Amino acid sequence: MNPQKITMGQDGRLNVPDQPIIPFIEGDGIGPDVWSASKMVLDAAVAKTYGGKRKIEWKEILAGEKAFNQTGEWLPAATLDAAKEYLVSIKGPLTTPVGGGIRSLNVAMRQELDLYVCLRPVKWYKGVPSPVVHPENVNMVIFRENTEDIYAGIEFANGTPEVKKMIDFLTNEMGVGKKIRFPESSAIGIKPVSKEGSERLVRAAIEYALEHKLPSVTLVHKGNIMKYTEGGFKIWGYELAEREFGDKVYTWGQWENAKKTQGEDAANAKMKNAEALGKLIVKDVIADNFLQQILLSPKDYSVVATLNLNGDYISDSAAAAVGGIGISPGANINYKTGYAVFEATHGTAPRFANTNTMNPSSLLLSGVMMLEYMGWHEAAVSIEEALATTIKRKRVTIDFFNLMHNATLLKTSEFAEEIVKNLK
Ligand code: NAD
């Protein structure tokens, strides 16, 4: 066989050879343990599903502590170049360097590769211990904007000449008056939210919902208070939905208009009709309310499109309902260039490094998302089923073992071997 690169076709679809070269970053702390377990399952599933016709050619690239120890750099340029050259890559968790110029390696990668979607599917596997009564009602795919907002890294520390300049400018030239309550000791963060950035995120969410025949996209925002940034996100989202997706969607904005012009009953009838016709419903919820709604009535939500900071909170909060970040996968994607970095959503849990005890499911399921992204659907499904069987049989790692009755405790590598045994 002949290992080749994945490429992006002119039609915006990926060309995936039978032996694609895929770069991986094993990660720091528990990264090597969860990566070797995940790789074992991914390789076994691909080999079994495609009878040896397909195989991933893994190519190690460096980031984090391993990179620093070998090259003196936390995120070598060669790593970013490889992520671009091969389009699709996968990574374990990385230590956030303390001090120095890098705020977070993950944020740096997202910015450098312009990975504007952080994709976080949240779904429950039968048997996974959960703090809610009906975790089976949680089945959401969160599209979190990844490059803008207060989270994008434009901040000025208090007491610096930069922050003084900024505060002087805001007070003297922008008329913020006394809104900066303690100007002498304030730090300042900037929250850019653009029409373009909001539109590409909402577009990706709507396309995903239509492709997977899902019932709704919910725009989650805090536009009641931050009217131009988060409020803009909502308005631009609705406008884009109506302009680009026309008949395929029905929005709450259209419902509002119908209510104004034809009355509430007529508006409700239109909404019912749209649902009956299988149109995608595009709605919005304010972020604080959304955090309670996903606990009170998770069934009402399917695809979620939101800004960077809201998305950070929502993803982990929703993940908690289905078993926590130990089993929640994630991906950072630019659907235009095709660049995609699949990743564990937990951190490096340094206390447990090299103990071979942690749950590899987050990274493994990120690998499953990667297979789906590549169009290797059959292998992806086979891993999901084998993982579900393993959990149902209560043969699990310590995090789940501690919360289950009569379970069998497995090491990280034993858990992976068990999943491999359960592959059909
Ligand atoms: P963490 O996710 O590393 O660990 C918090 C706790 O969660 C752990 O003590 C452990 O009990 C549990 N946990 C985490 N992963 C688990 C797994 N796979 N199986 C079972 N239990 C698991 O968060 P932290 O302690 O806040 O951060 C440690 C380091 O990781 C920091 O340097 C942080 O910046 C970094 N971090 C990296 C990423 C990333 O690379 N995507 C994400 C978050 C944190």
State whether the beta carbon of 327 lies less than 6 angstroms from ligand 1. no
Strands across the sheet containing 329-333: 57-60, 21-25, 88-91, 340-344, 329-333, 117-123, 139-145, 303-306, 216-221, 280-286, 249-251
Question: Active site includes 312?
Answer: yes
CA distance 137 to 132: 10
User: Which amino acid belongs to residue 215?
Assistant: P
Instruction: Give backbone dihedrals phi and psi of 73, rounded to 5 degrees, phi first.
Output: -125, 145
pLDDT score for 101:
63
Residue 164, helix vs strand vs coil: helix
Residue 287 alpha carbon to ligand 1 centre in Å: 25
Token reading at 251: 């929005």
CB atoms within 10 A of CB 210: 16
* Residue corresponding to tokens 């312009």: 114
Residue 94 alpha carbon to ligand 1 centre in Å: 9
List the residue whose alpha carbon is closest to atom 37 of ligand 1: 347
Token reading at 323: 């078993």
**Widest distance between CA atoms in the chain:** 70
pLDDT score for 108:
84
User: Which amino acid belongs to residue 264?
Assistant: E
Contact 386, 415 (CB under 8 A): no
State whether the beta carbon of 358 lies less than 6 angstroms from ligand 1. yes
List the residue whose alpha carbon is closest to atom 2 of ligand 1: 347
CA angle 111, 319, 287 (to 5 degrees): 70
Residue 352 alpha carbon to ligand 1 centre in Å: 10
CA angle 201, 91, 40 (to 5 degrees): 125
List the residue whose alpha carbon is closest to atom 27 of ligand 1: 347
CB atoms within 10 A of CB 86: 20
pLDDT score for 97:
78
State whether the beta carbon of 324 lies less than 6 angstroms from ligand 1. no
CB atoms within 10 A of CB 99: 5
CA distance 128 to 400: 7
Question: Active site includes 335?
Answer: no
Question: Active site includes 11?
Answer: no
Q: Which atom of ligand 1 is nearest to the CA of 360?
A: 18
Question: Which residue ranges of the chain lie beneath pLDDT 70?
Answer: 99-103
Write the CA distances from 357 to 179, 322, 400, 414, 416, integer angstroms.
50, 20, 11, 9, 11
* Residue corresponding to tokens 């959304």: 290
CA distance 301 to 123: 12
Question: Active site includes 151?
Answer: yes
